[in-house]
Structures are given as C-alpha cells and as structure tokens.
Amino acid sequence: MIDVNRRGEVWIVAEQEGGAIAEVSLELLGKGRELADTLGVPLAAVLLTAADGETTATRLGQYGADRVYLVEHDLLRHYQTATYARVVCELAAAWSPQVVLYGATALGRDLAPTVASALKCGLTADCTDLQIGDHTPPGSKELQKNLLLQIRPAFGGSIIATIVNYDRWPQMATVREGVMVMPQPDGHRRAVLVRHAAAFDGFRPPLAVLESERREKKVNLKAARVIVAGGAGVGDKASFRLIWELANCLGGAVGASRAAIDLGFVDKDHQVGQTGTTVRPALYVACGISGAVQHRAGMEESAKILAINTDPSAPIFAVAHYGIVGDLRVVIPKLIRAVRSGAKPEALATPLAPPEAEAGGARG
Amino acid sequence: MGYHCVVCVKQVPDTKGITGEAMKDDGTVNRAALPAIFNPEDLNALETALAVRDGHGGTVTVVTMGLPKASDVLRESLFRGADRAVLLTDRRAAGSDTLATSYILACAIRRLDADIVLCGRQAIDGDTAQVGPQLAEKLSFTLVTYLEQLLELRGRTLRARRNLGHGWEIVETQLPVLATVLDTANTPRPPAARRVMKFKKARCRSEVEQAVGRELAAAGDEEKAAEAARRCDALAQRGLLIEQWNLDDVGADLAWCGFKGSPTKVHRVQSIVLAGGAYREYPPTDPGVAQLVRELIEDHTIG
C-alpha cells in the first residue's frame, strides 16, 4: 500500500513485444499526458524488457512520457504474472506514483489485479473515460481534491459509474485499446531514462511456457474507414450475409454487437464495444443493433452514424446522425442498389487503404 | 488420491436479457426486475472441476459469497454434481469491491485446503475479471488466466492451454493453482434428474430461518429459533444443509472487508436515459434510401 502522495507521478505500464509497443500503451500516454498536466506532475512510462530497451524508451518519450523507468532482465523476456507483478510493485514502492494505468489487454487484465492485490489498492476495469475531479465522501465534510475519476459502464450498460479511491493509493485503472485517442509523436521530445535493477535473487518463475502461437485478428476494425455492423436484430446467421454484402459494397469492414457474437452470427474478432474494439470510422452503419451503452461506448465517436432498426425507440437512434426505421432485410438490398448506381464503380471496387497503423492521423 | 477442487461461483443479474419489461418509465433499467442467474463462465469453471474429479477422483467444493438467496447457485451446482457447497454470507461484507471480495474468499478457501481453485474468467454484472487474479495473489497460488483446456494433471504438475485472444500458449506449473476459465473451455453438463430430486430441498440456515419466520409469524423468538434449529438438524442428517459461514467463521479481519475494506468508492452513478436523438430520418423506400446515399457521397463520407 502506498500513502496518498500528491506529488506522485502519473504512470502508464507500457506493453511491448520484441520492441514493438502496443498501440494501447501509446494511447494511454496521450490521456496520461492530459492527466499529468492537470495535476502538475510528471508522466512516466514503466518498461520491462529483456534487453535493448533504450530504443523503445525513446519512442515512449516522443509520445509524451517525461520519464521512463526501464527494467532489463532476462526473466522479463516474456510476460509472466508473478515476474512482472513483482517488478511493478517494487517500482511503485520505490517511487510512489499516484496514478497507474494499464491497457485492458490479456496481459493488462492479468497483471493489474495481481498488482492491486499485492499493493492493497483499488483498480477499475475497462474505463471509457478518465478525468481529474473532486469528491466528498458520504458522511464527511472533507473535500478530496484532484482525484482520478474512473468512468465506466456497468450492469449491462444500464448505468455509468464513476469510481474514485481517496485513501489507499495508487489509483489504478485499465483502459481498452482504441478508447483513448492516439497522440501525435514529437520527434524532439526526450524522456529521462531511469534504470532500475530488479531484485531477482532466489526468485524462480512459478510457470513454464512450453509452446505459444500468435494469431492475427481476422479483421482490422480500427483501420476501417467504413464499418457495417450487425446485431441480434439481424435474426440469423444466414441473414448476416447482408451485413457482409453491404460492407463489401462500401469497401468497409464488418462489425458486430456482443449479442450477434453470442448468437454465433460472426467471429468474436468483429466485436465493437466496451469489451471489443473501440472504433471511430468515417461512417458506422448499425443494422439491427439496439444500442446498449457498452456497444455505444465503442462506436459513438464515429464521424457519421447510420442506424437501421425496426424499433424507432431503440437507443441506437439517440447517437445516430441518420436513421431508417425499417426491416434491414428490405433496407440493405435497397442501400446496395443505391450505392452501386449512385457512386463511381471503380471507387467502390477496391477496399479503401488502411491509414498508417501508428500515426493515428486518419482517426475520425 | 484425487484432487480437491474449489470452484468460486456468483449469482448475477441477467444483464444480457434486458427487455422492455425491465425498463422504467423514465427510460432507465430496473435492475431489481432482472432475473438472477448462475454467472455463465462459472458453469465452465464448475465443469472443469467435475471433469478433474471424474478423471482423477477427489472432491469438488463450490463456494459463493452473497445474500442467502445466492444459495440458488449452490443448489444448481449440487444438481450438476458438486460434492459440497458453502455459502459465505454476512451483512458486514456488503459493499465489498473486488479487493475486499478476494480477501474474504481467500480467508474461506484457506480453510478448505484446495489443490486447484477455479473461477469463471469474469462475471457479467461487472465484467472486471479481477477477483480471480486477486484471489490467486492472496492465496499465493500460481495464476493461470484464460484457461481453455486442462491438458494434463500428473502428481502435482498441471499442464494447460490458455487462450489469449491474439494467440494461445501451453503452460506447465506445480499445484496449487488458481485458474480462470473461458466459456470456450467446455460444455457444462446439465443438472442430473436424480440429483435435482435429492438436492432441491437443500437449504442454508438463513433460508430455514426465513421460512420459519414466515410460517410461524405469531410465535415468539425462542420458539422460532428452536424450530429453525430442529429443521436444520433434520436437513443436516439427510445431507441437505448447505454450510453457511460468516466473516468470524473464516477468521476475516473486518478492516479488510465490506465498504471499509474497499479502496474503490462510487463517486457517482448515472442511469442511462434512452432519450431520442436528433437524427435525420429517411423512409425505408427506394427514393428515401437513394437520397441518403446521395448525401453521403456528396459530403465524401463514402465513394
């Protein structure tokens, strides 16, 4: 446990593999920069790796980190819960950060709760927004100033909860990839490198990884300029073919709500929402999606939203720019015909090129 | 010899089935109207434990923390094959966040001498996936998240396949282990008819007391207590009394329990009001759709 420490830094725990930094870590540097500036404290990144961390540390500086805590050790070559948690706790005890942010990735959702348990501090999962604000505990007159407001939907999206922790720090949260906007790197920015030698004497990792394989996602929703997404209202897997046809006709990618995934209409890789991918395409077409807040959290920043639904009271219409109240089985074929006749055929034949993966300039 | 598997399960509101009936007039969700169900991935954790017992012998103990009503998920576990069920219930545990919950569960599980603890990856009411890893840290058990297949158990060595979403890995470690189980790990077995017949009458002490309170409303406290004790004894003799533990029974330090033991506090809760937005509506006709497409092309959104 770390005492409340108003001068403590804002930290993000960087995720990297083979020197490639996870996009969510760079996005967290953007949000972290904003929080650190509001608090008037430095922003730092924590980087654990086997070797050659300096190049990666330089990039973390260009994306907004003032300092990089670099720990290099052979035991840190591949992620392991016990090894990584031990080092993060050691760093936190030594430097007393006030905020620690993690990507809500498979790694982050394994590491962050382990660290929270060891430090006996709070943790809020899958935040959709983070702000700095004040809080008065119930039954108390003492105003707690400048806390991390951790904002997330809960209870199936029926509520938005704002969580704070004011007595046991650090304040920790995880954030899904794509939720925060990728900052523009500045080639002239330099972070101060702080090397830390982790104490691994007598430590043996409790687990051995015998085999592993990486799998690329079947679809890159974040890079798509147009997304056509289907929900439970599509009805069945055969009808979901219409979603694919419209997406192909618009040169876009196929997305889906959690309900459509659960019903087996399409693979989980296509999920848009708080627990899927967060997207900001130029056009998002929501077909048969009622619009639970978890889904809306993943798409409401789209530049243009077209909702197609038989139910005019569906919440998706609350975030839509264009709406068609009708049966998607009738409307989608009409849309495809209209697009084919109204636009130049060559513009639609080739899918639009994805923007540069990292610069993030093509977002919305 | 066999293994002692402890499965942590949770009763949750069915957030997937939010229908019009659960909506209040102001457009917010009436959470009390949502049916209470067995958290889906906890059923996969239970099935993993039952398969270990079927293959190697041993016992399966199911633990839940919640109100006496949460005994529903314990009965359901007994129907499906669990050997023993424990309800952790205490008013002083109210308001526990994931850290306090994992502390209380750890206190209970230390008393059970487990080889393997299994949890569902996450519960559908909060989707945090935090209690499993926090419990592993408190118990000093090796954590194996996202378990998709338990490949081998030999002596004290466990080998399992984890699904990380962007890939998979096969890990090997020594017991004791805490694993969080994915919904893709297995198909949970259905309740067995004979076990349903037997265990549908299983009750925890608080449920018995509530029933006595209803049935003997006019009786004095002493008489009610005596009747409740008599019924509990009768249930226990038939193996139908669900064990009920409170925070004192598990030796929990109250400073780490409930609202006081929880570092995260709710600052504000906003109900989502599903009000209509200011969107432009097009009729579902050929001219209506064509007009929309023309506008999207003209402002370079498409084409």
| CB atoms B274 and A282 under 8 Å | no
CA distance B58 to chain A (A): 24
B26 touches chain A (CB under 8 A): no
Residue of B173, B272, B295, B300 for testing the chain A interface, max A β-carbons within 10 Å: B272
Looking at residues B78-88, what average pLDDT do you find? Answer: 98
Cβ-contact A306, B292 below 8 angstroms:
yes
pTM of the model: 0.86
Question: What distances in angstroms separate CA A198 from CA A14, A50, A145, A205, one per listed residue?
Answer: 17, 12, 34, 14
B50 contacts B80 by C-beta, under 8 angstroms: yes
**CATH 3.40.50.620 domain span(s) along chain A:** 10-195
Which of B24, B121, B302 should be substituted to probe chain A, the one whose Cβ sees the most A Cβ atoms within 10 Å? B302
Least confident of A15-19, A267-271, B22-26, B137-141: B22-26
Q: Which residue of B has its CA nearest to A341?
A: B290
Under an 8 A CB cutoff, do B29 and A156 touch?
A: yes
Q: What's the pLDDT at B25?
A: 59
From the list A194, A233, A184, the residue with the least C-alpha distance to A59 is A184
Residues of chain B in contact with residue A323, where contact means CB-CB under 8 angstroms, are 279-282
Q: How many CB atoms lie within 10 A of CB A82?
A: 18
- Residues of A in Cβ contact (< 8 Å) with B289: 324, 331, 334-335, 338
Least CB–CB distance from A165: residue in B29, B265, B283: B265
The single residue listed with the structure tokens 């989502």 is B272
CATH class, domain A10-195, is: alpha beta
- Please state the ipTM of this predicted complex: 0.91
Homologous superfamily (CATH) of A221-349 is: TPP-binding domain (3.40.50.1220)
pLDDT at res. B119: 98
Residue-wise pLDDT tens digits, A27-44: 999 999 999 999 999 999
Angstrom distance (rounded) from CA A87 to CA A77: 13
Where along chain A do the CATH 3.40.50.1220 domains lie? 221-349
- Between positions 232 and 261 of A, the ones with CB within 8 A of B are 250, 259
Q: Which band of pLDDT confidence, cut at 50, 70 and 90, is reported for residue A348? A: very low
CA distance A193 to chain B (A): 31
Interface test with A, best of B130, B139, B177, B182 (most A CBs within 10 A): B130
A85 pLDDT higher than 60: yes
Judge whether B133 and B196 are in contact, CB under 8 Å. Answer: no
Residue contact B297–A214, C-beta within 8 A = no
Q: Looking at CA atoms only, how far is residue A359 from chain B in angstroms?
A: 21
Predicted pLDDT of residue B31 = 65
Q: What pLDDT, in 10s, does the model give residues A298-314? A: 999 899 999 999 999 89
Residue ranges covered by each domain of chain B = 3-202+239-256
**A139–chain B Cβ distance below 8 A for any pair:** no
What kind of fold does domain B3-202+239-256 have according to CATH?
Answer: Rossmann fold (3.40.50)
The reply to whether residue A158 touches residue B169, judged by beta carbons under 8 angstroms, is: no
